[in-house]
Homo-oligomer: A and B are copies of this chain.
Amino acid sequence: MQVTGTVLTTRRVDAYHALTVVAPGIAERFRPGHFVSVSVGGANTAMVTRRAFYVHDVKPEYGGTVELVFSAGGPGTAWLAERRARDTIDLVGPLGRPFPLPRDPVHCVLVGSEYGSAVLFPLADALAERGCRVDFVLGAASADRVFGAMRARRMAERATVTLTTEDGSLGVRGTVSDALPAVVAGTRADVVYACGPMRTLRAVTAVAIEADIPVQVAVEESMACGIGICMTCVLPVIGDDGVTRMTRACAEGPVFRGERVRFEDVGTIPFDALGAPGGGARHVS
């Protein structure tokens, strides 16, 4: 659904901006892993596409608020970073297929890289509600880009929080996937959930496959629509029938089973994908 939300608060969290927006309809329908798309630039802007953001937090205040966490890079996120309390922003959401939740109280490791960590907290809450044990591995290039360390520590009373930075400025030097095998082994994890850049998800998936446990990854692909109609956000994913299809990250994802995503082929059309040029199917261009 489309909602004109009022900004309630804005704050800086290390390298990130956090925006809490009153958006009752979206908050109500939200499940962990959902994302929203935001119209940027205001009236008469030259920016025609929305920007996608994971929902970090949902609170019941004012009928329902959602919090977005983002880093200001290009012009759209820069515009969003300038929003102030009482400004309105136009949201569409909740979008995508959320994380599937286990029925049983299993052991879960949640792996987040950079702002990808943001999406893990509502997931952790939902898992905890089901009696799951939740351990965190959070990382980034540098300390100021590791998101949610404090909150993770607060949540994970009976569990562990592992932090990694590539420059060693916080926690273990290295990446989340470097640290993951030990955490999986140490916590006797039953499942891994991960969000972050594609290369992180690829490495995390490899760790989970190695440990022979399922892994759910929330991916990020350039999206022009976020609602499944533009076909720009595709990546090669293996279906239940074993066939690889160019699959929409927004509509069929953003959450996929890690081992189904052909990470090494992202950015290509694998020769054996359904409808690949030369792959049995005739092609017109």
Contacts and interface: CB of A to CB of B under 8 A. Distances in A.
Number of copies: 2
Interface residues of A, number: 10
A46 B47 CA distance: 8
A44 B43 contact: no
A183 to B, nearest CB: 42
Nearest to A46: B46
Contacts of A46: 44-46
Interface in A2-49: 41-47
A75 interface: yes
Contacts of A78: 43
Contact of A75 (B44, B75, B79): B44
Contacts of A41: 44-45
A57 B23 CA distance: 45
Contacts of A42: 42
Nearest to A41: B44
Interface string A44-62: 1111000000000000000
A47 B43 CA distance: 10
A134 to B, nearest CB: 40
Nearest to A74: B44
A45 B46 CA distance: 5
Given A43-B79, A44-B47, A44-B79, 7 more contacts: A41-B44, A41-B45, A42-B42, A43-B75, A44-B46, A45-B46, A46-B46
